[in-house]
Structure 1
Amino acid sequence: MTTRHPLRVGLFAFDDVEELDLVGPYEVLAAWSAVSALRPEVLVFSTDGNGVRCAKGLRVVPDCSREDADDLHVLLHPGGKGTRRLAEDTTHLSWLRALRPITPLMTSVCTGALPYAAAGLLAGRPVTTHWQAVGELTALDPSVQIDTEARFVDDGDVITSAGVSAGIDMALHLVARLESTAVAREVRRAIQYDPAPPV
């Protein structure tokens, strides 16, 4: 029987996931794994382990199924059009609720916060999401404390981020939090992430 590394990070992939919500943080976390003395295990999984088609057509082949993506230290739930369906999927919501007490850190990108809210995981918490989804999030749980300005909100055992590219910022914050700011800066330099929008 093999023993898994205690620092196991799982990114959940699903049909109609927003591409950058998934691959942006994956790029950061995979780059971290390559340089970190902690050697975190970073994996992408889907409900059944089968491939998914992202919101804009990119196809992704996950590493494993939800059942095999156990013992996670961090769950990253991306956003995208598919989150509306997941926020009404009782099986998905039950899975999220079951993960809550055994997963030290649950994170979301963009509208990945919607299923968390529908599962009751964000009640009374400070959170953020894509600016266009603020109304949807508060409709699912009026008790959430929305921060419409933050790129990400770290509330201890739950971290939510704003839309799309904000997931990269959140993932770099994760690296700094789980290892060190110095390593996070090394990762940022490795992926040459230095935002200076040309427009």
Structure 2
Amino acid sequence: MRSATPPPAPHRVAVLALDGVYPFELGIPSRVFGNADDAQGRPLYEVVVCTVDGRPVRTDAGFSVTVEHGPEALEAADTVVIPPAGPCADATAADPLPGPLAAALGRVRPGTRLVSFCSASFVLAAAGLLDGRPATTHWQVAEQFRREFPRVRLDEDVLFVDDGDILTSAGVAAGVDLCLHLVRRDHGSAVANHVARRCVVPPWRDGGQAQYIERPVP
């Protein structure tokens, strides 16, 4: 008798927590991808959180986060997600890509899908990964981003940009939109809608950042 074909291994997602990370965005991948199951109830994603050195990191909310993985988790990842952290868009930072962070990104395998939330797009841009490519970031730091990285085709009006192997999102809840988009891209609308229902969020938000940008009243 022929043995049953084993189920495919879950898609591996590594979330890279930087010092000063924003807790809300840090939790988005686990909440969204962690609620994606196949028809037999098996998880479609495996989500792990890591830091550049395996040590705890401070959040911007007055507490620290202890993780179970160091940068070695990036080597086995199919998707790497970088949530924003306080220093990401710090105009006073002497080095936009510190050595330990650059070394950690260097461990990512070629072809791995890269995702940034909010101002973490500064990290991808500083690494030269967005040169000549479309991207977005939070509208509040868009002008600074444009000055620092003129080779990136920035669009600050959209909620997220999908450029194949690199995806960037706008601020805060736009990270949820982007993760749902990835579930939809990977496994179809039915799975993404199911995840959205579990998370009590809309499966798709119309419009973009333009509706939130502060503009003078005529």
In 1, distance between residues paired with 2:135 and 2:74?
25
Greater radius of gyration (CA): 2
* Contact map agreement 1:96 1:116 (CA 8 A) in 2: no
Q: Which amino acid aligns with 1:170?
A: L
Q: Where does residue 121 of structure 1 map in the other structure?
A: 129
Q: Where does residue 92 of structure 1 map in the other structure?
A: 101
Gaps of 5+ in 2: 1-7, 206-218
For 2:70, which of 65, 75, 93 is the aligned residue? Answer: 65
Q: Where does residue 50 of structure 2 map in the other structure?
A: 45
Q: Which amino acid aligns with 1:92?
A: L
For 2:35, which of 31, 39, 45 is the aligned residue? Answer: 31
> Whose helix fraction is larger, Structure 1's or Structure 2's?
1
Q: Where does residue 81 of structure 1 map in the other structure?
A: 86
Measure how far apart 1:25 and its partner are. 2.8
> CA 1:53/1:11 → structure 2, altered by over 3 Å: closer, same or farther?
same
SS at match of 2:114: strand
SS at match of 1:117: helix
* Contact map agreement 1:79 1:111 (CA 8 A) in 2: yes
> Does the alignment pair 1:15 with 2:19?
yes
Matched pairs, number: 191
* Contact map agreement 2:23 2:61 (CA 8 A) in 1: yes
For 2:172, which of 164, 172, 176 is the aligned residue? Answer: 164
Percent of residue pairs identical: 34
SS at match of 2:35: helix
Q: Which amino acid aligns with 2:29?
A: P
Q: Where does residue 213 of structure 2 map in the other structure?
A: none
Q: Where does residue 144 of structure 2 map in the other structure?
A: 136
> CA 1:34/1:18 → structure 2, altered by over 3 Å: closer, same or farther?
farther
In 1, distance between residues paired with 2:10 and 2:30?
18
* Contact map agreement 1:71 1:103 (CA 8 A) in 2: no
Measure how far apart 1:48 and its partner are. 2.0
In 1, distance between residues paired with 2:166 and 2:16?
16
Gaps of 5+ in 1: none
In 2, distance between residues paired with 1:20 and 1:117?
23
Measure how far apart 1:37 and its partner are. 4.4
Structure 1 residue ranges, 4+ long, deviating more than 6 angstroms after superposition: none
Taking only aligned residues, the RMSD between alpha carbons, in angstroms, comes to: 2.3
User: TM-score normalized by structure 2?
Assistant: 0.79
In 2, distance between residues paired with 1:79 and 1:185?
26
* Contact map agreement 2:18 2:85 (CA 8 A) in 1: no
